[in-house]
Chain A
Amino acid sequence: MSGLIQALDLSTLVVGVLSGGLYALLALSIILIFRTTGVANFAQGELGTLSVFLLLFYILPTGMPVIPAWGLAILLAGIVSAIVYFILISPRPEAPHLNVTVRTLGLYMLLYAIAVFLWGGQEPYRVPSIFPSQSVNLGGVQVGYDQIGTLAVTAVAATVFLVLFRYTRLGLAMRAAAIDPTVAVLLGIDVRLIRLAAWVAAGMLGAIAALLIASSAFLETTMMRPYLFKAFTAAIMGGLTSFPGAIVGGLILGIADAFAVAGISIHMREPFTFAILLLTLLLRPAGLFGSVGRARV
């Protein structure tokens, strides 16, 4: 009996870490845009959904193998993000941050409406996974290769991103532009280019998260909603500007809601997350890793 409970807890933990990793990946892309452009990107989830639809309806029908097709979809997400930046974000740069946030809300509406219009009739769709469908027994817990693969891809994507941000000239320029755009310009950094790079990188991270989510469940037009909600919560828990904070926040959230689902009820997952969000704002307004002085908007 106790063995059963332990196995249940371990598999719950695996599920929690898995979804926590996806929350963290999406939270990274949100924080990247927030740090460089000062905008809460509400369209991040829908941009990811769009890239999965592009994969399913335009890339895979050409007969391309699954793995390069995923790569192409991620690349396309970067291009779409760049277009969004030029059309929607860069006009009227003197507008306050909150106005630009409202624009992303408009984009969220627009992308969702387009997805429903074009593909909403026959949802949900099955998206081919790049991982084999077998599972393996790890210390008494059945773990699917797709779960291991998802975790691995999440970890690699997050690591690559963090290394780029920490150790390359582009990353340094991004950090400079985030701290003070005016000084960055004086130092010879093209802030517009940096912001464009941030949007492209965030778009690609979001697409990776969306592809992993769609292939482990189903592709639906509303697929990314709960994930975006949790990614925002994770970002706030991490203090809104801290990448490690977002990863820790995402993992805590993922594990906590996996146990809430297993222990209480599936319906308690979203209210539970919301309670965590409110409690974090109440007890540690600057997040677990942030400081109040960095607040923007």
Chain B
Amino acid sequence: MRPGMMRIAATCIALAALAAAPWWLGPYPQYVLSLWLIFALSAIGLNIPIGLGKIFSFGHGAFMLIGAYATAMPILYWNWPISAAIPAAVVLAAIVGIVIGLPALRLTSFSLAIVTLSFAFVLFQVVKAFDFTGGPQGLFMPDTALTRLLGGRAVHLLVFACFVAGFLGYWSLSRSKTGRALRVLGENPIVAQSLGVHLLYYRVLCLVLSAVYAALAGGLLALLTNYVGPETFSAELSVNMFAAVFIGGVGTLLGPILGALFVVLIPELFQSVQNLSQIIYAALFCLAATLFPGGLAEIASKTFTWLAGLARGRDAPVSVR
């Protein structure tokens, strides 16, 4: 079998195993797996502005918050079906992305960094302040037809489908004309402009696409946990999502998925306030930002090619970077 074929076969088996997880895993591992897929979806979305457009958005958690609350509130208050609530939440997040992005993206990336992080901070305060959004206690969602379907397994299938769609979406975007335009824009805005790339349009597009991914992930999170609370979406979440992409490897296909594993596993493995793992995570983030800009994906691929080189009895290939 050719190596390419083997890779495709391995991917298919892995995907099938992921999709069928509820039938061979216990309820808790299955829950963690669904969480991971949701955060991976969100991280893939954040990789569009960071990895392609080199636009650093520190407010990704805010769009997840919008997705979660905008999914939960219509279901809770007006009995909307899920099939209407999630798309509406996604559209709302996209509109908010435009409103936030238009003033900030006209300027330096510096202002964008501040505006997006402030946005996450403010939104967290706002949902905490109003009774309508559940205040500090948050909102508990009713059981819906979907959450009862197949003994709760349907939510996992939905999450899995959205994850695969999101992954394929990023994959095709990164190879399309738009993706190339974004890459040029990220490398050098002046060159991009002289090639006919409309800077503001593509920058806003980047942010809006990431908002769409985040809102979808937020809505799925609300469905999975049956609960929406402000503490889930504090400014930490935004920073953690950013760190996930950075630790995993900016601009790579698999990096954000790897990085999201950290965001999910850290609170799940160490469920206490005084949390040593958060320190390790932050230290890893510092390390990736300071010394290994390629992140885990770079380290993994280097190790892999090095091992492959060893297996073939040749010298390890020289690093490209």
Contact = CB atoms under 8 A, between A and B. Distances in A.
Consensus secondary structure, chain A interface: helix
Contacts of B114: 40, 232-233, 236, 277
Interface residues of B, number: 47
Given A95-B293, A270-B125, A117 B107 contact: no
Contacts of B169: none
A110 B126 contact: no
Given A92-B290, A120-B274, A105 B279 contact: no
Contacts of B274: 116-117, 120-121
Given A92-B290, A285-B106, 11 more contacts: A99-B289, A99-B293, A103-B286, A109-B236, A109-B243, A109-B282, A110-B285, A112-B282, A113-B282, A281-B115, A296-B110
A110 B115 contact: no
A229 to B, nearest CB: 5
A88 interface: yes
Contacts of A110: 279, 282-283, 285-286
B282 A270 contact: no
Interface in B82-135: 100, 103-104, 106-111, 113-115, 117-119, 121-122, 125-126, 129-130
Contacts of B36: none
Contacts of A236: 111, 114
A189 B149 CA distance: 70
Interface of B: 54, 56, 58, 100, 103-104, 106-111, 113-115, 117-119, 121-122, 125-126, 129-130, 235-236, 239-240, 242-243, 246, 273-276, 278-279, 281-283, 285-286, 288-291, 293
B108 A233 contact: no
Contacts of A42: 117
Interface residues of A, number: 45
Interface in A228-253: 229, 232-233, 236, 240
Nearest to B108: A295
A88 B290 contact: yes
B279 A108 contact: no
A181 B80 CA distance: 59
